Amino acid sequence: MTVLGIVAGCGKKNDDFKYLLDEFADLKVMRYRVPGWEELSLQQKEYAYHLAEAAKYGRDILWDQNCAVNLPLRHVVANILENYKGDRGCKDFQDFLVYAKRLYFSNGIHHHYAEDKFVPDCPQAYFAALMEAVGDGGKCAELLPYVYDPALLPQRRSTATEGDIVAQSAVNFYEGVTRDEVEAYYAAIADPADPEPVSYGLNTKVVKEGGKVVEKAWKAGGLYGPAIEKICGELEKAAAVAENDIQRRALGKLVAYYRSGDLRLWDEFNIEWVKDTVGTVDFINGFVEDYNDPLGRKGAWEGYVNIKDFQASERTQLLCANAQWFEDHAPVDPRFRKKEVKGVSAKVVNAVCLAGDSYPSTPIGINLPNADWIRKEHGSKSVTIANITHAYDYAAQESPKSTLAEFAWDEAEIALYKKYGSYVDEIHTDLHECLGHGSGQLLPGVSTTAMGEYASALEEARADLFGLYFTADPKMVELGIMPDAEAYKAEYSSYIRNGLFVQFNRVELGKPNTEAHMQNRKLIAEWCYEKGADRNVIEKKVRDGKTYFVVNDFEALRGLFAELLAEIQRIKSEGDYAAGKALVETYAVNIDPELHREVRERYQALGLKPYGGFINPDIVPVEKGGKVVDYQIVYNDDYLAQMLAYDKLYGTL
């Protein structure tokens, strides 16, 4: 599971390194530094290099998963960017350029976060003329309707409450099948009595052949075979220079899984991967998160390489050492608590390479594996990604305006956040990832897929609530993690302000709130606002025609967080689909139109971009006498140049 968001704070910039590179539409592109790289040994650098190459070879997989039209369109757009000889200064071409940048940022034709299709501002006839000019005119009739017609593939992942969300989704996970057929297929093959169920459907496309529903595996020799062969080749090179035997065994399992498509081997890989708590270099590689699937089964391809920040990891290790205390004191029914918390490990890391579903837009925290039984029996591994959060903060310092000054109620609230906010936000992320996702247990016989299309929003809410509740616990001060008993208030105020109001600058007017992490935040904030109304726990205030949300009773708010955590844990543990659906549809989806209009207008007046993403540094082998003697980090500063280079270097499909 991942935490998406933008956090602030890690001190002031102390040099001239430029973080913010480009801004267009509602997006900004940044770069990040890699602290600790020079302290790695040559072997560790080589290990990271091959893991990064393996990650980048999965790029085409995600593009095709997001929508079948994405790769053919990207090839056409790249051809225009590289070979068009006409006027590039005119408005139409500049509008096309913005579309191209958005296409690359979102890994396809749908917004990376809102999931709606975006359309170029240049006319369709002009786009067609560009294609004609570079020799791709014959593809106009095939591709341009998908680019311009709002009725074709309108949403990457449908969240509609009516109709067939499989048929209404543009993702390339299903073909020629209905939702009922898919669910019946998996119900028929799943063994409800299996205590160690595989993640049915994680690595397949579901199609109909000869009137029968079948799965087509994403594996070597199968779907995405050329890309997976390249990934396996780099993983095998990485295994040869791994830091320890656990890493070598894990990589062997991962390669075997990619070659066979056997989900039991995926589980075996994850069990080995969780054991590696001593290595400095770590990675994610595979079909991982199911947020993009309307049915919550299919894993989007993701790659990540990072190195451990040993000093910053001390706080997460302290949380892990006390994991049983937190589990025992969670405000949930004791039946839903784990009697024995196993194998929880966490660390603060610095990203080295982002790929697939983590590129360019990336999470700031990760907790894996996702299988509940592996978490229960073998544990989980959590990371907070420090250099990404720091890059967001430094890039924000390059802008003269801030959302804090605009949306916080008064100077006291602003001062509290400036004093504690950035640090406490990282602590909340630590709790969310290190302990929240790994907490709790399902009752015997409850399916891991019982929450269906609401699973992601509910699981993120559960982890967020766990973190919010314990952020304010005296235990955090006792452990020396929180600076004092008042610091948590900065996070509570910020969370409510964002969940009820500020985050909706990201959603187009008239559209519902559909992204799982945004749904989670709205669900929590809206539920607490409603349930605490009789006590004025959260107050809506208006000054000079502007709306603000202010926390009046922090202790009561913590109590509300506890109540909602108890209910969402019950829903998950008992598999209460109806109650989960009611929570999400009541509190997480519909946005007040007046508040929505106001927040959009106020945010746009600031001139800020609500979404951010990153380009990667290059890891460059340094040769001497025909032998690699070092691997250097080279920081890029051209967003489109990296995208076009990746097209050539890592294009396989």
pLDDT at 321: 92
Among residues 574, 418, 433, the alpha carbon closest in space to that of 517 is found at: 433
Query: Which range (197-206, 210-219, 398-407, 496-505) has the least confidence?
Result: 398-407
Q: What pLDDT, in 10s, does the model give residues 528-580? A: 999 999 999 999 999 999 999 999 999 999 999 999 999 999 999 999 999 99
pLDDT at 175: 97
By three-state DSSP, how is residue 428 classified? helix
Q: State the average pLDDT over residues 616-623.
A: 97
pLDDT of 274 over the 70 cut: yes
pLDDT at 383: 86
pLDDT of 633 over the 60 cut: yes
pLDDT of 626 over the 70 cut: yes
pLDDT band at 393 (very low <50, low <70, confident <90, very high): confident
Question: What is the pTM (predicted TM-score) of this model?
Answer: 0.85
pLDDT at 6: 33
Quote the CA–CA distance of 608 and 628 in Å, as a whole number: 44
Residue with tokens 């053919």: 72
Tokens coding 632: 């250097």
Helices and strands in the chain: count of H runs, count of E runs: 25, 16
Mean confidence (pLDDT) of the chain: 94
Residue type for position 642: Q
Q: State the average pLDDT over residues 581-589.
A: 97
pLDDT at 14: 62
Query: Which range (328-332, 505-509, 633-637) has the least confidence?
Result: 505-509
pLDDT at 10: 44
pLDDT band at 438 (very low <50, low <70, confident <90, very high): confident
pLDDT band at 166 (very low <50, low <70, confident <90, very high): very high
Q: State the average pLDDT over residues 426-434.
A: 88
Q: What pLDDT, in 10s, does the model give residues 335-364? A: 999 999 987 788 889 999 999 999 999 998
Residues 217, 113, 178: CA angle, nearest 5 degrees? 45
Helix (H) / strand (E) element for 539: namely strand 538-543
pLDDT band at 7 (very low <50, low <70, confident <90, very high): very low
pLDDT of 311 over the 50 cut: yes
CB 357 within 8 A of CB 301: yes
State the Cα torsion 295-299-305-308 to the nearest 10°: 50
pLDDT of 60 over the 70 cut: yes
Q: How many CB atoms lie within 10 A of CB 211?
A: 5
